[in-house]
Structure 1
Amino acid sequence: MSETPAEPRPYRDKPVSFVRRSGRVTEAQDRAWSELAPHYVIDVQRDAAATSILPGSTLDPNAVWGRTAPLIAEIGSGQGHAIVHAAGSRPDTDFLAIEVFRAGLARTMLDADRAELGNLRLVEANAPEVLQHLLPEASLDELWIFFPDPWHKNKHTKRRLITPEFAPLAAHALKDGGMLRLATDWEDYAVQMRESLDPAPGFTRAFEGEWAPRFDGRIETAFERKGARVGRDIRDLSYRRVPR
């Protein structure tokens, strides 16, 4: 009697907040991956997708960075301008760049190497899975999400990262009292962020009024300048992880 074959494991059961596109790899980017990635990029076990994280493959921050220090992660680090600047300005703090686009990760590595940064590491992965599977509970002092893809067309808003379902993942990774910092230049997304996080059990507002003041640890990036040029207001939000 033959056994019934097991049901195939789904590739992913939820939409992701990105679409990976292949492009021409420059000589500098190729060098970054061959020469710098072994030092900067955290090697992770994958699940079904190329940017997934295998459940149970938790990292040890003290082992990865070789010390005990505050840890800040940035989701959607892009080309790394904000996190490279922050890592260079705060050598006593460790930083993790979370990104899926290889060109951006390559640029981040090149700039980090040029600045001789020892406190920055990168992971090429889907951010919710990093928070859920890779980072230990209560391991982050801060989590930054600056100018995430707004997916502004109505048919695409389901791909937005910041939703009520995202809040417990962020709360899981943040230490008690840790900070979740966000910024966007899309008004309706800013409202969605606020509506998703205001009622979240793990967080409380760290600002008064409609919006948080601009986070002074966030340098102005190309995304922010582009939004300002076309007249979009920049909205900051900040939330504190409540005690468990």
Structure 2
Amino acid sequence: MTDQKDPNASKDTGPESPVTTRRGIRSFVLRQGRMTEGQKKAYERSWPVYGLTREHGMIDPREVFGREAMLNLEIGFGMGKSLADMAEAAPEQDFIGVEVHLPGVGALLKEVEDRGLENVRVYSIDANDVIDLCLPDACLDRVMVFFPDPWHKKRHHKRRLIQPEFVQRIRHKLRVGGILHLATDWENYSEHMMEVMSDAEGFANTEAAGEFSPRPDDRPITKFEKRGERLGHGVWDLLFHRTN
């Protein structure tokens, strides 16, 4: 393992409360559910090694991973299979995942164990706290937000994660040239994302203005996405790079 804990540090007993320390509208509903026995055991074994918390403060990715490498952040990794697929396919890169739902954290840690992955670390707190309190500026090469809650009712659109203020905070964590990759299977949300990103200072579309991107080969297709495709649902990818 590359990030052994400081024996003098306070004992890390697990993820913190996911309630954000920032004021604002929460973009997720906490549906904890139950961990399976396998997820629970993987969590108990591997959280002390792969878990990160607010107590770690502003991290130095080189110390966390024990090397300097391309650094990816996935916000809301769900059950973690896609993140594990990406990490396994690119062992030369490092990946930080953020997910507030504990069964998903347990599922990812089980994938990490089963595949012997060393290039994954996990936060189980609000992504806003990770961005504001844990990641130094210009440390990320890529940020991924795949299939966030669409909050499809119009009165709930204010809860959507992809908003101008959030995008600007992400921008400061990306290096110049770094990529923000968004994907959704809700057409209305894709239009909202495109509007936000097209107006966002310091970002440029990797495609022509207003154009969606083909799915990159390194974004795995999820079971949920495959089922949607069979039902005729579309999927929209947006890739924008930081210009300044």
Does the alignment reach a TM-score above 0.5? yes
Counterpart among 30, 35, 42 of residue 45 in structure 2:
35
Residues 147 and 224, structure 1, Cα contact 8 Å, conserved in 2:
no
What percent of counterpart residues are identical?
41
CA shift for structure 1 position 12: 5.0
Unaligned runs of at least 5 residues, structure 1: 1-9, 46-53
After superposing the two structures, state which structure 1 stretch, 208-217 or 110-119, moved more.
Answer: 208-217
CA RMSD of aligned residues (A): 1.7
Residues 38-187 of structure 1 mapped to structure 2, 5 A cutoff: 38-45=48-55, 57-187=57-187
Partner SS state of residue 64, structure 1: helix
Q: Is the 8 A contact 1:147 1:223 kept in 2?
A: no
1:11, distance to aligned residue in structure 2 (A):
6.5
Report the structure number with the largest CA radius of gyration.
1
Match of 2:231?
Answer: 230
Size of the alignment, in residue pairs? 224
Gap runs ≥5 in structure 2: 1-19
1:217 aligns with: 218
What is the alpha-carbon distance in structure 2 between the residues aligned to residue 142 and residue 238 of structure 1? 10
Q: Distance in 2 between matches of 1:210 and 1:21?
A: 34
TM-score (norm 1): 0.87
1:202-227 per-position Cα deviation (integer Å, ceiling 9, x unaligned): 21111125211112111110231233
Per the alignment, in what secondary structure is the counterpart of residue 198 of structure 1?
A: helix
CA–CA separation in structure 1 for the residues paired with 2:36 and 2:114: 18
**What SS does the corresponding residue of 2:164 show, helix, strand or coil?**
coil
Q: How far off is 1:27 after superposition?
A: 1.5
For 2:146, the aligned partner's letter is: F
Could you say what secondary structure the match of 1:97 adopts? strand
TM-score by length of 2: 0.87
8 Å CA contact retained: 2:34, 2:103 = no
Structure-2 separation of matches of 1:139 and 1:189: 28
Which residue is equivalent to 2:36?
A: 26
1:194 paired residue number = 194
Q: What amino acid is the match of 1:13?
A: R
Structure 1 residue 229 displacement after superposition? 3.2
